Amino acid sequence: MTLLAVDTALGGCSVALLDGGRVVAHIFEAMDRGHAERLAPMVQEAMAGVEFSTLDRLAVTTGPGTFTGQRVGLAFMRGLRLALKIPLTGITTLEAIAAAAREETGLSKAAVIHDARRDEAYLLLRDGDEIVQQPMVTAFAEAIARIRAFGPCALAGTGAATAQETLGFTLSSVRQPDALWVARLASRRPATREAPGPLYLRAPDAKLPGGRSIGQPSEAKA
């Protein structure tokens, strides 16, 4: 199976192309902005010499992440899905981070704690093949408490160093999701006919006129 995966949801932009278990191309760039401008050129670079018609599957991160970043990757890959008529698999950013941390450290258990601002964190706990705690957003201190109760594990995400200072657990070098692990996780999952949607764990910071959040319905007029 030939699979193309992308991630634009958090602090990086990455593309990976796998042919079976072989890595054909892998590009990762750390960035907080500019994902929309960078993604298409990165995909073209990764697909150099490879026809899009040879792809069997697509994969993309669904979130949690920045409101704009999530939409960039999803919109791009949903468009490819329609054009190529092949399945698109969604993988959460925290799953991809956890997989990379487990591989790096050799530990079965991983905790992903990623700074979500406002003294909050995105959190995921994984033990082997089981996700013990699905992606959630909670107070940073509560995330630390949940990891402590989870027990010794590999720590990953942008909040991992702070967590390690408190807990003393194993600190991995993994801070951001990477399309390489999005591709590897997606390749192990069955294809679905439905296109994945964004995983929003809280309302976006951006406001519409009148103070409403994006996606919040307006009040009905009398």
For domain 2-92+177-187, the CATH architecture is: 2-Layer Sandwich (3.30)
CATH label, 95-171, candidates 3.10.28, 3.30.70, 3.30.420, 3.40.50:
3.30.420
pTM to 2 decimal places: 0.91
Digit-coded pLDDT (tens) for 108-159: 999 999 999 999 999 999 999 999 999 999 999 999 999 999 999 999 999 9
CATH 3.30.420.40 domain range(s) in the chain: 2-92+177-187
Neighbours of 189 (CB within 10 A): 13
Secondary structure of residue 104 in the 3-state scheme? helix
Digit-coded pLDDT (tens) for 40-98: 999 999 999 999 999 999 999 999 999 999 999 999 999 999 999 999 999 999 999 99
Please give the span between the terminal C-alpha atoms of the chain, in angstroms, as a whole number: 56
Residue type, 80: L
156 close to 111: Cβ distance less than 8 angstroms = yes
